[in-house]
Amino acid sequence: MKRLDARAPDFEAAFTSLLANREAESARVDAPVAEILAKVRAKGDEAVCAYTSRFDRLDLTPETMRITGAEVKEAASGVPQDLLDALNVAATRIEDFHRAQLPQDMKYTDSDGLTLGQRWTSLDAVGLYVPGGKAAYPSSVLMNAIPARVAGVKRLAMCVPTPGGVLNPLVLAAAKRAGVTEIYRVGGAQAVGAMAFGTETVAPVDRIVGPGNAWVAEAKRQVFGHVGIDSIAGPSEVVVVADAKNDPRLVALDLLAQAEHDELAQSILITDDAAFGHLVTEAVETELKTLSRAAIARASWRDFGAVIIVRDWEEAARLVDRLAPEHLELMVDEPEALFARVRHAGAAFLGRFCPEAVGDYVGGPNHVLPTSRTARFASGLSVYDFLKRTTFISSGPDALSRIGRAGVALATAEGLEAHALSISERLKIIDRG
Amino acid sequence: MKRLDARAPDFEAAFTSLLANREAESARVDAPVAEILAKVRAKGDEAVCAYTSRFDRLDLTPETMRITGAEVKEAASGVPQDLLDALNVAATRIEDFHRAQLPQDMKYTDSDGLTLGQRWTSLDAVGLYVPGGKAAYPSSVLMNAIPARVAGVKRLAMCVPTPGGVLNPLVLAAAKRAGVTEIYRVGGAQAVGAMAFGTETVAPVDRIVGPGNAWVAEAKRQVFGHVGIDSIAGPSEVVVVADAKNDPRLVALDLLAQAEHDELAQSILITDDAAFGHLVTEAVETELKTLSRAAIARASWRDFGAVIIVRDWEEAARLVDRLAPEHLELMVDEPEALFARVRHAGAAFLGRFCPEAVGDYVGGPNHVLPTSRTARFASGLSVYDFLKRTTFISSGPDALSRIGRAGVALATAEGLEAHALSISERLKIIDRG
């Protein structure tokens, strides 16, 4: 963990080093992934089953690739009721927020007499990748699936590896609650290939979302263009801006909630009180003694954690913008005023009783957010990812006669004669009355 | 050109072949592009000037990389007034449409007492790539630059190669009108590198947009993640749905306006009248005798053109959805009704007096649109490409006490103890009053 003081002469250099790339160099898997995708495209189910046998020690046939409704129901019946209730609270709140997010169509007639607009329509089919084993988070199923269904996507196919055939009941319960329409016990690059190109059993989708390992990420990169994909998530981060009125232990827990995700996660406290900063770092050490994921959290905090002392919140806002964090907590007296000064953050959590973990589960807004400073130009997952716009222009002869000549002039200047003629020949017809 | 009849037994096979990928296999340039990007990142201006000397036969220094305001003014002064007027008509209409497109922020307090919302902010800086030579379209400068400025982007840097030092006056006039803030006479992968990583002279940007050759496209692919990019455009297409009441020559010109872009472009007529289809193909042949870009248009029409005879417009709408065309013209009696049945198209042009070329220049909506069937999941360029969303959650103790327990349950189920504690420890404080 680093301590930085904005008044120190070496601050700029120390701060810049915090912005450094935390991407781990992942093994190059482009060639094996390309081979898997080509095989799945050429041989369909046969290839998918062969790879599943090899990678997941699971013998499938086209008939058993799909997890049946009965299996989902049975698995979900083993989930304790309080967890199902919690899942339902989360799902309902996520649905409500994303429904509020739905954009309106637009249509207007302008002074030249043209009717212009844009119309939103949902994608027909979406594929959701869910990692197997420990990385399978039911909350992630809700966050990826619900915006698609709220957007109006009819087909929502999910692929989840089940190494050795073991199903994850809470993940299946989340998929059921979120409205996933079909689930396949297939993972890895072969799952991405099946969803992108289709097989005899899996119909192709238009967009693939959801987190995955390096093979899945590379497969998504390679099928991009053929289908849409979501952004490839990097290591995650939180910036907590907190004054000395806060309980240091709560701030420490918020920092550790980020750090426990991943050794590459980054947790940064920005405060205007150096003594409070010390209290928080002491509290972090205390919590690390008992935290179940202490090994991961300790590595993250040691390598990438930071406490930054600032003169005032104005300075804090400027530093936040340079960090452009995925998550931003504002635990100060007037969080709205400070939020208004910040430009770049994936999601903000305002107030002393709004830890980031609320947003991971039950807040409502999406927890799939731009990582690694990409909040400078990117946004979290939303209904927009499952909608596309068609713009439209409607013109009659009067409107065309008002704007057509400018179009002819520009088309001619660009040397596109048929473009120019397609307008000018209509103008002639209009002029002839 | 192919003739297809939806009633013919072999229709499905013939139609499916129309959907085949038209991407040309482009030469692999990933290794040389990676080298250029690495050099630009390490050596800045020095590398940019060296590559410009090599590829564009132009000797630059850091002082002469930027095209001065005086140079832009002088170049623009050579553009005929009627062209400047046309540029202004186009720019004003594009501004108006994209201003209407600006989304609203959202904020509401829900029944649990949480205040939720999302806020749109613009990117700080955008880079616009403009190809040199013949492919430099002033309309493309307007279409890429104006949405960025309307979105509120402060810095809009443009890179355009000027082989041999020759400036394109109309492109510079378009850049000036569109509000580009700085212009560099640099092209290729080195321009993309300069904008992505920054040099002594070119400050880095957050997103790079605009068309380019294979080197530019590959460079954009490689810097993606570090900055945002737009989608890589494939060959372009139009579907014209027209009844027999239309002038066959106008329909032919609309089909040729697409075909004249590129040998890989695709122009498809869908009509319910076989005889009208024949008249249109005859008119295409007549126009090809005199069209300045006949060689390109003829190749496109020969290899990828099609006339499809349908039973009715319902069938036409289903085929349009499978084609998901970049451009869709509806030259029928009730274009709005037909448009309502279509789900997948980049941009639609409604009525007999609304040729697609209107949309290329002066309509107002963007002409940068999803190509090659990607309208199934992608949209045209818009103000959204230059904005990002920050979602926010504001919670006090009452609100947290209503939803917190569900969050604790899910965090615990996912094995994330600090997540659970960051909520449960606050709940304890609240319970203690």
pLDDT tens digits, one per residue of B213-227: 889 999 998 898 889
Phi, psi for B120 (deg, rounded to 5): -95, 135
ipTM of the complex: 0.96
Check whether A321 has a pLDDT greater than 90. Answer: yes
Q: What integer pLDDT is reported at residue B235 of this predicted model?
A: 85
Q: Is the pLDDT of residue B134 over 90?
A: no
Q: What are phi and psi of B354, to 5 degrees?
A: -135, 65
Q: Is A317 on the interface with B (CB under 8 A)?
A: no
The arithmetic mean of pLDDT across residues B81-91, rounded, is 97
Kindly report the CATH class assigned to B234-377.
alpha beta
The average pLDDT across A298-310 equals 97
The answer on pLDDT for A134 being more than 70 is no
On the question of pLDDT at B53 being above 90, the answer is yes
Tokens (6 digits) for B433: 């009053």
DSSP secondary structure code for residue A227 in this structure: B
Q: Report d(CA A31, CA A26) in Å as an integer.
A: 14
What number is the average pLDDT over the span B365-388?
A: 96
**Which residues in chain B have their CB less than 8 angstroms from residue A421's CB?**
253, 257, 287
- For residue B229 the two structure tokens come to 């990019």
Reading the block at residue B357, the tokens are: 């070329």
Residue of A nearest to B373 (CA): A226
Q: Are B208 and B192 in contact (CB under 8 A)?
A: yes
B365-398: burial string, b at 16+ Cβ within 10 Å, e else:
bbbbbbbbbbbbbbbbbbbbbbbbbbbbbbbbbe
**Taking CB atoms and an 8 Å cutoff, what residues of chain B touch A241?**
none
Query: What's the pLDDT at B24?
Result: 66
A352 vs A334: CA distance, rounded Å: 10
For chain B, first and last CA: distance in Å? 78
B336 touches B388 (CB < 8 A): no
Average model confidence (pLDDT) for chain B?
Answer: 95
The bridge status of strand A115-122 relative to strand A106-109 is antiparallel
Interface of A with B in 346-405 (CB under 8 A): 346-351, 353-366, 370, 372, 374-380, 382, 384, 388-397, 399-400, 403-405
Same fold across A2-23+234-363 and A30-108+123-229: yes
pLDDT score at B20: 83
d(CA A332, CA A242): 6
For residue A26, name the pLDDT band (cuts at 50, 70, 90): low
Q: Do A361 and B411 touch (CB under 8 A)?
A: yes
H-type helices in A212-312, by residue range? 214-223, 248-259, 274-288, 294-304
Q: Is B90 on the interface with A (CB under 8 A)?
A: yes
Banded model confidence at residue B28, pLDDT cuts 50, 70, 90: confident
Q: In CATH, which of 3.40.50.1980, 3.40.50.300, 3.40.605.10, 3.60.150.10 is domain A2-23+234-363?
A: 3.40.50.1980
Rounded to an integer, what distance in angstroms lies between the CA atom of residue A252 and that of residue A283? 6
**Interface mutation target, options A398, A421, A431, chain B, most CBs of B under 10 Å:** A421
Q: Are strands A182-184 and A66-67 parallel, antiparallel or unpaired?
A: antiparallel
Q: What is the least distance, in Å, from the CA of B356 to any CA of chain A?
A: 8
| β-pair type (A228-229, B327-331) | unpaired
* Phi and psi angles of residue B181, each rounded to the nearest 5 degrees, phi first: -95, -20
Residue among A159, A216, A228, A253 at smallest CA distance from A37: A216
**What is the model's pLDDT at position A225?**
84
Q: Which of A385-399, B20-34, B65-79, B105-119 has the lowest mean pLDDT?
A: B20-34
Say what the pLDDT of residue B135 is: 65
- A30-108+123-229: CATH, from 3.40.50.300, 2.30.42.10, 3.40.50.1980, 3.40.630.30: 3.40.50.1980
Q: Report how far residue B248's alpha carbon sits from residue B283's, in angstroms, rounded to the nearest whole number.
A: 7
**Confidence class for position B397, pLDDT limits 50, 70, 90:** very high
Strand, coil or helix: A208? strand
Give the three-state DSSP class for A153: coil
Q: Which residues contact B26 (CB under 8 A, 6 or more apart)?
A: B214
Amino acid of residue A315: E
Among the partner-chain residues B137, B356, B382, the one whose CB lies closest to the CB of A414 is B137
pLDDT at residue A244 greater than cutoff 70:
yes
pLDDT number for residue B22: 80
- List chain A domain ranges: 2-23+234-363, 30-108+123-229, 395-431
Class of domain B30-109+122-229 as given by CATH: alpha beta
Would you call A425 helix, strand, or coil by DSSP?
A: helix
Q: For chain A, give the mean pLDDT.
A: 95
- Given pLDDT bands bounded at 50, 70 and 90, which one contains residue A47? very high
Those residues with Cβ within 8 angstroms of residue B47's Cβ, 6 or more apart along the chain or in another chain: B36, B39, B40, B190, B193, B199
The answer to whether residue B305 neighbours chain A at the CB level (below 8 Å) is no
CA dihedral defined by B363, B366, B372, B373, rounded to 10 degrees? -90
Condensed to tens digits (0 to 9), the pLDDT of residues B302-320 reads 999 999 999 999 999 999 9
**A203 and chain B in contact, CB less than 8 A:** no
pLDDT tens for B143-183 read 999 999 999 999 999 999 999 898 999 999 999 999 999 99
In the three-class reduction of DSSP (H, G, I as helix; E, B as strand; rest coil), residue A193 is classed as helix
Tokens of B5: 């009849």
What mean pLDDT is predicted for residues B423-430? 97
Span B405-418, average pLDDT: 97
Helix (H) / strand (E) containing A324 = none
pLDDT tens sequence across B333-370: 999 999 999 999 999 999 999 999 999 999 999 999 99
Neighbours of A321 (CB within 10 A): 18
Q: Which residues contact B69 (CB under 8 A, 6 or more apart)?
A: none
In this structure, what token pair is assigned to residue A197?
């190109």
Distance CA A67, CA A56 (A): 15
* Interchain CB contacts (distance < 8 Å): A and B: 378
Please tell me the predicted confidence (pLDDT) of residue B136.
77
- Banded pLDDT at B25 (limits 50, 70, 90): low
Phi and psi at residue B209, to the nearest 5°: -130, 170
- Flag whether B226 is marked binding: no
**Model confidence at B232: pLDDT above 90:** no
The question of whether A326 is a catalytic residue gets the answer yes
pLDDT band at A24 (very low <50, low <70, confident <90, very high): low
Positive or negative, the Cα torsion across B376, B378, B383, B384?
positive
Question: A253-263 pLDDT, tens per residue?
Answer: 999 999 999 99
What gap in Å lies between CA A339 and CA A317, rounded to an integer? 8
Distant-in-sequence contacts of A338-343, Cβ < 8 A, 24+ apart: A338/A241, A338/A313, A339/B392, A341/A313, A341/A314, A341/A317, A342/A317, A342/B390, A343/B121, A343/B124
* Cα gap B418→A249, rounded to integer Å: 11
Query: How far is the C-alpha of A248 from the C-alpha of A256, rounded, in Å?
Result: 12
B30 class by beta-carbon count within 10 Å (0-12 exposed, 13-18 middle, 19+ buried): exposed
